[in-house]
A and B are shown apart, each in its own frame.
Chain A
Amino acid sequence: MDFVGKNTRSKKIGRIFLIGFMIIVAIGQLFPLIWLFDFSLAKSGDLFASDLLIIPDPPQWVNYVTAFVDGKVLKYLFNSIIVNVITVVATVMISLLVAFACTRMKWKLSKMTMGILLLGMMIPIHATLLPNFILYSKMNLTDSIFALLIPYIAFALPQGIFIMSSFLEGIPKALEEAAVMDGCGIYRIIFQIIFPMMKPAMITISIMTFLNSWNEFTMAMTYLESDKYRTLPFSVLNFAGQYASNYAVQFAVMVLTALPALVVFILLNEQITKGITVGAVKG
């Protein structure tokens, strides 16, 4: 009796210390968000000057109104959502198809194709800015939604394919063989059998792709011209002067930009557990 009591007590204390330590680390990680929010309520002249955190007095909630209105947040948000959703869905789908083709299908060039596509991960984006711009100019694609979709998906694919194929390796071929016995075609195998088992991979890829393109600015500003398809990262620009800028409102804009990403992330966060446990139970 005594023995058991001692054990659980020390276990409990150990757990408290563990959680305490992890909370301290968590505060460190959450700090940037706190800092951002804090200064988004200040006046532009308060930033970057003295204290690490200030208590804005009075809090400039008007910054958010200005950000929303002058920053054209609604319009850019709409564009961001469309571009990002299409990018994520397309990336996940195409990655799955390619990963399946290269790891499961039998053909001579499978390894080489995979290799070339993975090479995409090693390409610095800035090296492709001008050539892509010239290409899009010639094909009149600049200032269209494709100017964003094509590079975003193309750059997200290597990572996606990489992750998909790693996860695919963990799925036994027996299932496919059984399906073929039942008379399934390749597409049915992919979508009815493989697809449901790839949830963790798809979620990981979705998170990575989404976050990479949600905050992406360089390519967007190079390939777009007018306001039509501009995404959220451009909002910040509306408050940038030639030299100095309205920093506090820019911070408010960045909070507004981060919010949807946070929401998406937290939602997907739930799904990770579900996906993983489903996989674990089955396997």
Chain B
Amino acid sequence: MRKMKRVVGLFLMFTLILSITACGSKTEQKADKEADVQSEETTQETNTEDGAGTEPVTIKLFTNLPDRTTGQGFLEQQIIDKYMQENPNVTIEIEALQDEAYKTKFTAYTSSNNLPDVLSVWGQPAFIDPVINSGYLAELNEADYADYNFIPGSLAGFSKNGKIYGLPRNTDIQVVFYNKKLFADNGISVPTTMQELYDVADKFNALGIAPCSIDGKDKWPLAIMYTDFIMKLTGDNTLLPNSIGAKDLSDPNFKKAADAMNELISKDFFQKSFTASDYGASRNLFAQGKAAMFYMGSWEMSMATDEAIPEEVRNNIGAFNLPSPDGAKSKTTDLSAWNGGGYAVAEKSPVKEEAIKFLNYIYKPENWAKGAWQNGICIPAQSYEEYLTGNETEVQQTLTNLLSQATNISGTPINDCGTPTFKTTSEDLSQQFATGMIDSETFVSKLNEALQ
């Protein structure tokens, strides 16, 4: 009898907990729904008013920057807080997930046709084309951005048929970061030709230091490197997009670029088992001074201000452009660069007008561009000349010079040029090629196959 009572008691408690939480969530949901309905009515009334509205509005922001205390996430949060302060009727709800989780959740949202109002997107065909084509993104008014100083060409990846669907957050340049102290201590100077780079690799290998660290596990850095070689070999930034568009990679330069890349790798240029090294591992290998170079995008300029990195590395970071292979037609100032991450607004958003207003606020040059540059976070996609303080880290200065002197810019890396399926296949192939599992001819022909 006692046991029976205990069991019944347990059940009652269970049901009680269940009903409390159920009621709680139901009423909260009801409140949310009412707020949404209210805000929908409001936005229809306050149409194109630019001043702060008075009806409460909730904007959902879905971002791939979970860390709100450093880097881009920090900047984003600051701008959000500022906006909410200036517009007290607006509440911005944030859902933040990192890269992989972000993409999975993104698919969940599109499949249920229920996207958040403002969301992170990548302005590259592999990601954004299907999204735009399915009509998920709201069209933005080009005239709004006349004074925003977007670098020419940066909006291309976010547009279709002359209409803009998103705005880029940063300009990414692929560079070789290097440890100035390790170079200086061993009498090694910055290479300007490919042959010199081979020599540098040999010297570091002899010293037992990995010449260059790369994130081989995530595969895309390897695809970017291949694109870098294509650019550096031909000096022609139309070859790749045209070939992808024509679904034809028969141009002999593709194989030549692969061969050149293979030659570099075969000098033991990368760390051992680089395909097991993920982003964090490869970055820390460099940050710990165990690798002399780190092949990564310009967003890593923030390493110079990252206190978790030992001082003697942090204060000695430089960057140089990957040299051109011998006999190349490119100039040393040709760069591998593109515009990747950005934001867009959902077409079906119940608070579309307010969301676009918020989006435009983020991109006001004094908000994102200034914050990104002056805090050493990343290179914005807008002109930042007026925000140069003269106090930039050396890496920042080098990168700025590279960008301002650039004679040619590669554009979207190969893996992001085609369909999403092509993205994963090309990345897989890049990894297989880099580890020597397939040779350059097979690599190019399989890429070609994947395009069809």
Are A222 and B25 neighbours in the complex by a CB distance under 8 Å? no
Are B308 and A43 neighbours in the complex by a CB distance under 8 Å? yes
Please tell me if A201 contacts chain B, counting CB pairs below 8 Å: no
Of B3-11, B138-146, B240-248, B383-391, the stretch lying at the interface with chain A is: B3-11
Are B308 and A222 neighbours in the complex by a CB distance under 8 Å? no
Digit string of A46-88 for contact with B (CB within 8 Å is 1, else 0)? 1111100000000000000000001000000000001000100
Please tell me if A196 contacts chain B, counting CB pairs below 8 Å: yes
Chain A stretch 235-269: residues in CB contact (< 8 A) with chain B: 237-248
Number of interface residues of B (CB under 8 A): 55
- Which of B21, B70, B285, B288 has a CB less than 8 Å from the CB of A241? B70
Are B67 and A246 neighbours in the complex by a CB distance under 8 Å? yes
Please tell me if B283 contacts chain A, counting CB pairs below 8 Å: yes
Are B104 and A243 neighbours in the complex by a CB distance under 8 Å? no
Known contacts A238-B66, A241-B67, A248-B308: A47-B114 contact under CB 8 Å: no
CB distance from A259 to the nearest CB of B (A): 23
Are A45 and B288 neighbours in the complex by a CB distance under 8 Å? yes
Report the nearest A residue to B169, measured CB to CB: A242
Are A222 and B283 neighbours in the complex by a CB distance under 8 Å? no
Known contacts A47-B284, A146-B25, A243-B279: A238-B111 contact under CB 8 Å: no
Chain B residues within 8 Å of A50, by CB: 288, 290
Chain B residues within 8 Å of A35, by CB: none
Chain A residues within 8 Å of B104, by CB: 129, 218, 221-222
Please tell me if B97 contacts chain A, counting CB pairs below 8 Å: yes
Chain A residues within 8 Å of B283, by CB: 243-244
CB distance from B292 to the nearest CB of A (A): 14
Bound form: Cα–Cα A228–B66 in Å: 16
Bound form: Cα–Cα A142–B83 in Å: 28
Bound form: Cα–Cα A282–B11 in Å: 28
Bound form: Cα–Cα A262–B181 in Å: 45
Chain A residues within 8 Å of B7, by CB: 191, 195
Across the A-B interface, give the 5 residue pairs with the lowest CB-CB distance, nearest first.
Answer: A49-B288, A44-B308, A48-B281, A144-B25, A240-B98
CB distance from B263 to the nearest CB of A (A): 28
Chain B residues within 8 Å of A48, by CB: 280-281, 284-285
Bound form: Cα–Cα A70–B66 in Å: 11
- Which of A45, A130, A144 has a CB less than 8 Å from the CB of B306? A45
Of A24-32, A106-114, A132-140, the stretch lying at the interface with chain B is: A132-140
Please tell me if B266 contacts chain A, counting CB pairs below 8 Å: no
Please tell me if B99 contacts chain A, counting CB pairs below 8 Å: yes
Chain B residues within 8 Å of A241, by CB: 65-67, 70-73, 98
Please tell me if A173 contacts chain B, counting CB pairs below 8 Å: no
Please tell me if A192 contacts chain B, counting CB pairs below 8 Å: yes
Chain A residues within 8 Å of B306, by CB: 45
Bound form: Cα–Cα A205–B17 in Å: 22
Please tell me if B69 contacts chain A, counting CB pairs below 8 Å: yes
Chain B stretch 54-112: residues in CB contact (< 8 A) with chain A: 60, 64-73, 93, 95-99, 101, 104-105, 107-108, 111-112
B contact patch SS: helix
- Which of B25, B98, B287, B288 has a CB less than 8 Å from the CB of A145? B25
Chain A stretch 144-178: residues in CB contact (< 8 A) with chain B: 144-146
Are B64 and A242 neighbours in the complex by a CB distance under 8 Å? yes
Chain A residues within 8 Å of B10, by CB: 89
- Which of A45, A195, A238 has a CB less than 8 Å from the CB of B284? A45
Are B97 and A238 neighbours in the complex by a CB distance under 8 Å? no
Chain B residues within 8 Å of A140, by CB: 29
Known contacts A89-B10, A241-B65, A241-B71: A45-B3 contact under CB 8 Å: no
Chain A stretch 183-204: residues in CB contact (< 8 A) with chain B: 188, 191-192, 195-196
Report the nearest A residue to B63, measured CB to CB: A242
Are A244 and B279 neighbours in the complex by a CB distance under 8 Å? yes
Interface size class of A (residues with CB under 8 A): 35 or more
- Which of A43, A129, A238 has a CB less than 8 Å from the CB of B67? A238
Chain A residues within 8 Å of B114, by CB: 137
Please tell me if A90 contacts chain B, counting CB pairs below 8 Å: yes
Report the nearest B residue to A130, measured CB to CB: B111
Interface residues of A (CB under 8 A from B): 43-50, 70, 82, 86, 89-90, 93, 129-130, 133-134, 137-138, 140, 143-146, 188, 191-192, 195-196, 217-218, 221-222, 225-226, 228, 237-248
Chain A residues within 8 Å of B14, by CB: 86, 89-90
CB distance from B71 to the nearest CB of A (A): 5
Bound form: Cα–Cα A101–B116 in Å: 45
Are A49 and B65 neighbours in the complex by a CB distance under 8 Å? no
Report the nearest A residue to B109, measured CB to CB: A133
CB distance from B124 to the nearest CB of A (A): 15
Bound form: Cα–Cα A126–B69 in Å: 32
Q: List 17 contacting pairs A-B, 8 Å CB cutoff, sorted by A.
A: A43-B308, A45-B309, A86-B18, A130-B111, A140-B29, A143-B29, A191-B3, A191-B4, A196-B3, A218-B104, A222-B105, A228-B28, A242-B64, A242-B73, A244-B280, A245-B280, A247-B280
Chain A residues within 8 Å of B71, by CB: 241-242
Chain A residues within 8 Å of B281, by CB: 48-49
- Which of A93, A133, A240 has a CB less than 8 Å from the CB of B112? A133
Please tell me if B310 contacts chain A, counting CB pairs below 8 Å: yes
Report the nearest A residue to B286, measured CB to CB: A49
Chain B residues within 8 Å of A70, by CB: 69
Please tell me if B12 contacts chain A, counting CB pairs below 8 Å: no
Are A192 and B111 neighbours in the complex by a CB distance under 8 Å? no
Chain B residues within 8 Å of A44, by CB: 284, 308
Are B299 and A221 neighbours in the complex by a CB distance under 8 Å? no
CB distance from B49 to the nearest CB of A (A): 28
Are B21 and A82 neighbours in the complex by a CB distance under 8 Å? yes
- Which of A192, A221, A226, A242 has a CB less than 8 Å from the CB of B65? A242
Bound form: Cα–Cα A191–B426 in Å: 59
Given contacts A137-B114, A241-B71, A244-B280, 9 further A-B contacts (CB under 8 A): A48-B280, A48-B281, A49-B290, A89-B10, A130-B107, A144-B25, A241-B70, A241-B72, A242-B64
Bound form: Cα–Cα A217–B17 in Å: 23
Chain B residues within 8 Å of A248, by CB: 308
Please tell me if B341 contacts chain A, counting CB pairs below 8 Å: yes
CB distance from A49 to the nearest CB of B (A): 4
Please tell me if B22 contacts chain A, counting CB pairs below 8 Å: yes
Are A243 and B299 neighbours in the complex by a CB distance under 8 Å? yes
Are A221 and B288 neighbours in the complex by a CB distance under 8 Å? no
Are B112 and A246 neighbours in the complex by a CB distance under 8 Å? no
CB distance from A253 to the nearest CB of B (A): 12
Chain B residues within 8 Å of A243, by CB: 99, 279, 283, 299-300
